[in-house]
Amino acid sequence: MRDLLGGKGAGLAEMTRAGLPVPPGFTIATTACNLYLANDEALPAGLEDQIISQLQEVERLTDKRFGDPQNPLLVSVRSGAKFSMPGMMDTILNLGLNDRTVEGIISQTGNERFAYDAYRRFVAMFSNVVLGYKLHHFEAVLEQFKHRAGVKEDTDLNAATLKDLVKAYKAMILKELGIDFPEDPFVQLKMAVEAVFRSWKNPRAITYRNHNKIPHDLGTAVNVQAMVFGNMGNDSGTGVAFTRNPSTGEKALYGEYLLNAQGEDVVAGIRTPNPLSTLANELPEVFQQFVTIAERLERHYRDVQDMEFTIERGKLYMLQTRNGKRTAQAAVKIAVDLANEGIISREEAVMRVDPASLDQLLHPRIDPNAKIDVIARGLPASPGAATGTLVFDADEAERLGREGMKVILTRVETCPDDIHGMIMAQGVLTSRGGMTSHAAVVARGMGKPCVAGCESLRVDLERRTFTVGDRTFGEGDTVTLNGSTGEVIAGAVPTLAPELTDEFRQVMVWADAIRKLGVRTNADTPEDAARAREFGAQGIGLCRTEHMFMQPERLPVIQKMIMAEAEHERREHLAKLLPFQREDFEGIFRAMEGLPVTVRLLDPPLHEFLPNLVDLSCEVAVLKATGSDPKLLREKETLLRKVHSLHESNPMMGLRGCRLGLTFPEINEMQVRAIMEAACQLAGEGKKVYPEIMIPLIGHVNELSTVKAQLESVAQQVMEQAGVQVAYRFGTMIEIPRAALTAGAIAEHAEFFSFGTNDLTQMTFGYSRDDAEGRFLSHYLDSKILKDNPFETLDQEGVGQLMQLAVKQGRKARPELKLGICGEHGGDPASVVFAHHLGLDYVSCSPFRVPIARLAAAQATVGTTQMRDK
């Protein structure tokens, strides 16, 4: 029903059908919204009549009349799209109030104060949502009234003052907008319905949909529902609750409420609410009933429910239920617990966790042994650690965030207008609001650390500072948030690698049992290899050798090798590098014992190992001008000549990859010798090693056959000398479109293909990645010329087609050909799914992304089965 009724409407309908206490109402379908927007904002024919007849049904069920001065029906008008969009579109409460019906409410309830309180809320909300008049204007007037009456809380204002407040509000609207506040309840309702329709295309809703990849053509439904009142005294109240803890996943009812409060008081963080557990003492029967309903809803929907409720004079009403948003940590625990409780299957549990979100679990937390300077403590609203400089404004947070600065967005409380700043911030800090405040909910959804309701902070948004005790922190100061404890810490703090929970390991075990695709890692050091293995890597898909050359004791040797004019000189220097390389490979083979290790031969252009051309030119110029050190000058001049001679106008397409080895075969020979000597060493110890030697940047089969012939003989020679046999393979990267197009011929000489999707993307699009990302690519993405960044999510249409062709031709030429992806795409869930469908043997990604790839691979398998079953 969610497509038609929206999530909220579907939930209300289903709860009503199940006999739960829901105030009567009706839902205007999303199709009406789409018609309205498509039709120049004219209500679809017949809609008004249908609204009137449905309203009569609500009148019958409540025994009240809409607009009746004696016994008036009041309604809420609530938006609700298919996907919940927290705080995106505002609800109007108490619609139907005017100067006549308010008298009816007074005589019905005998509570004048309550009636005017509802009335003033309605005028403010309606003016805000429908007339677009900012709420803070009303708040300012309210503050004046409170000040004049000498009270602190809204609840302390008496009926007469509230009545005057309503007048003041309406007068302000007339003066500022030139509009008489609508008195006719039917006019109010029609205007409200249209406002909800229009709110589908307000900018913040569009931002939210863009960020969450929600289609723009779904439209929103409108729910019109009889009001129930949580602000009728201390046997009334309103609250929100989760069937399990959305932050940790702990199986315990979790929520917050306020007595004598209405509507969004809890969510908006106006007052800091009480934990749900205290309701058991305050209103025990209501609490028991709520517990029962919550359990029922969770079992019915087979997932954690996020529920909104209101208590009117001791009677409980359910106002909303939906699947609860949760942190990654909670998602894992909840999925595993639900499966263990028999509520969902293991496959479903695997499908319930968003692979990309695992990133958060694998990210650092604050070192418990670190000396920290805790300046304040708030609510642990969204876990994880974040360090950044303080920023007090969402626009500023966005601007600095885009410049690559790490910022902590600090507000009294956040609202939907702050979303863009939250997106670019490392973490969010608020001084007001509870665990279900806007800041907390949105930060959890984004997986960002958040400390909310940190009431000891006195935030001064004007001066962009906060004061706590006698300390003041301002814009530009660095703080660290611990979203798991609620601590706000001065300065940057050391962090530790995360620990993996039992539930995390469990869901991974289930994923491994399901998936068909292998997952390897990209690792250049034994430490990375060991970590990746802990994360479940089944080998190394890409070991780059160039980083090994960058180390301080090796770089000078490499540089001399590059400077050498004659081959025999080069060989001398390479011989010095051999023991280092052998040691590197030995370490990696040991860390990956029993698993395949793909080593890529030297790939980058040689000038990367030499000083920068411009820097060096400057140095030479300075030395020349000062004439201080003629010897150094001569050395630098020689170096500069070499740098000049190696300078290429397009290094990405220059002397690199297999072209290096074809120009200077001795470099490859040294590397293969090091690989094979290390492998023979381990094999001699009885250990299992599976070296895979990968030749990069092949475009023509003859490149491969030539390089391979040279290197085969080195490998054979090493094994003969060592008297040990090692099961090694030669293979190549497919990263030039021509290689993909001629994959059949190439497979004759390669035992494996590894798709180097970074280069393949560069060469297929004709973009140089480093240039593209800094210049036009963000513009392409903003203006929707490209839907996704092709360097993050594999371009299936173009690059994917080349891969498909290579897979087909390669397997035809050599059925046992091993196929994999290395490159960042190997850890992108959508690309992993694509790799599964291509029928590759494995993906390879950075160690921290290994669990993400394992889970995504399992989901691809389950997804395929589900499609087949349908």
Residues that bind ligand ADP (CB under 6 A): 23, 76, 78, 87, 91, 93, 225-228, 238, 263-264, 308, 310, 319-320
CB of 468 to ligand ADP, least distance (A): 31
Contacted by 413, from ligand ADP, Mg ion, none: CB < 5 to 8 Å by type: none
* One of 84, 248, 274, 320 touching Mg ion (CB under 5 A): 320
Stretch of residues binding Mg ion (CB under 5 A), selected from 312-320, 420-428, 626-634, 709-717: 312-320
Q: Which is nearer to ligand ADP, 95 or 803 (CB)?
A: 95
Q: Which of Mg ion, ligand ADP, none is residue 263 near (CB under 5 to 8 Å by kind)?
A: ligand ADP
Q: How many residues bind Mg ion (CB under 5 A)?
A: 3
Instruction: Tell the smallest beta-carbon distance from residue 268 to ligand ADP (Å).
Output: 9
Q: What are phi and psi of 467, to 5 degrees?
A: -120, 140
Residue 94 vs 245, nearer CB to ligand ADP? 94
Q: Considering only 305-313, 377-385, 458-466, 806-814, which stretch makes contact with Mg ion by CB under 5 A? A: 305-313
Say how many C-beta atoms besides its own lie within 10 A of residue 67's C-beta.
19
Which partner, Mg ion, ligand ADP, none, binds residue 78 by CB below 5 to 8 Å per kind? ligand ADP
382 in Cβ contact with 414 (< 8 Å) = no
- Is the Cβ of residue 263 or residue 657 nearer to ligand ADP in the bound state? 263
Q: In what order do the strands lie in the sheet with 427-430?
A: 374-377, 487-490, 478-482, 385-391, 407-411, 427-430, 450-452, 379-382
The pairing of strands 729-734 and 752-756 is parallel
**Stretch touching Mg ion by CB under 5 A, among 122-130, 304-312, 390-398, 401-409:** 304-312
Q: What is the dihedral of CA 158, 164, 167, 169, to 10 degrees?
A: -70
Least Å distance, CB 95 to ligand ADP, is 10
308 binds Mg ion (CB under 5 A): yes
If the CB atoms of residues 258 and 719 are measured against Mg ion, the closer one turns out to be: 258
CA separation (Å) from 820 to 218, 517, 545, 753?
38, 9, 19, 6
Q: Quick one: 211 exposed, middle or buried, by C-beta within 10 A (0-12, 13-18, 19+)? A: middle
Site for Mg ion contains 437 (CB under 5 A) = no
Q: CA nearest 694: which of 763, 752, 739?
A: 752
What is the end-to-end Cα distance of the chain in Å, rounded? Answer: 19
Q: Which is nearer to Mg ion, 6 or 67 (CB)?
A: 6
Taking CB within 5 to 8 Å according to partner kind, which of Mg ion, ligand ADP, none is near residue 93?
A: ligand ADP
Q: How far is the CB of 264 from Mg ion (least distance, A)?
A: 7
Q: Which is the catalytic residue, given 33, 415, 420, 438?
A: 438
Q: For ligand ADP, give the closer residue by CB, 56 or 340.
A: 56
Q: Please check whether residue 377 is in contact with residue 232, taking contact to mean a CB–CB distance below 8 angstroms.
A: no
The span from the CA of 324 to the CA of 7, in Å, is 12
Angle (CA) 321 324 325, round 5°: 145
Instruction: Specify whether the CB–CB gap between 49 and 32 falls below 8 A.
Output: no
**Least distance to ligand ADP, CB of residue 108, Å:** 16
Minimum CB separation from ligand ADP for residue 647, in Å?
60
Residue 433 contacts residue 413 (beta carbons within 8 Å): yes
Question: In whole angstroms, how close is the CB of 267 to Mg ion at the nearest point?
Answer: 7
User: How many angstroms from the chain centroid is the CA of residue 701?
Assistant: 42
447 binds, among Mg ion, ligand ADP, none (CB under 5 to 8 A by kind): none
Q: Which is nearer to ligand ADP, 78 or 749 (CB)?
A: 78
Three-state DSSP at 245 gives coil
Task: Clarify whether 543 is annotated catalytic.
Answer: no
Nearer to ligand ADP, 222 or 856 (CB): 222
Choose the contact partner of 23 out of ligand ADP, Mg ion, none; CB within 5 to 8 A by kind.
ligand ADP
Q: Is position 822 annotated as part of the catalytic site?
A: yes
Residue 58: what are its φ and ψ, rounded to 5°?
A: -65, -40
Q: Please report how close the Cβ of residue 11 comes to Mg ion at its closest, in angstroms.
A: 10
What is the per-residue DSSP string for 164-230?
HHHHHHHHHHHHHH--PPP--HHHHHHHHHHHHHHHTTSHHHHHHHHHHT--TTS-EEEEEEE---S
Instruction: Please name the residues in contact with 257: beta carbons below 8 A apart, sequence gap of 6 or more.
Output: 237, 238, 239, 240, 241, 266, 273, 274, 276, 279
Cβ-based nearer residue to Mg ion, 258 or 726: 258
CA distance 148 to 165: 12
Longest Cα separation, the chain: 106
**Per CB under 5 A, 265 contacts Mg ion:** no
Can you say whether the dihedral through the CA atoms of 310, 312, 314, 316 is positive or negative? Answer: negative
Q: How do the residues of the chain divide into helix, strand and coil, expressed in percent and rounded to 5?
A: 50, 15, 30
Three-class DSSP labels, 398-433:
HHHHHCCCCEEEEECCCCHHHHHHHHHCCEEEECCC
Task: Indicate the residue among 308 and 528 with the shorter CB distance to Mg ion.
Answer: 308
Set 33, 822, 825, 836: catalytic member? 822
Return the structure tokens found at 516: 């068909």
From residue 90 to residue 109, the character string flagging contacts with Mg ion as x (rule: CB under 5 A) and all else as - is x-------------------
User: 584 with 601: CB under 8 angstroms?
Assistant: no
Nearest approach in angstroms of CB 17 to ligand ADP is 18
- The nearest distance, CB 320 to ligand ADP, in angstroms, is 5
Interface ranges with Mg ion (CB under 5 A):
90, 308, 320
List the catalytic residues: 438, 822
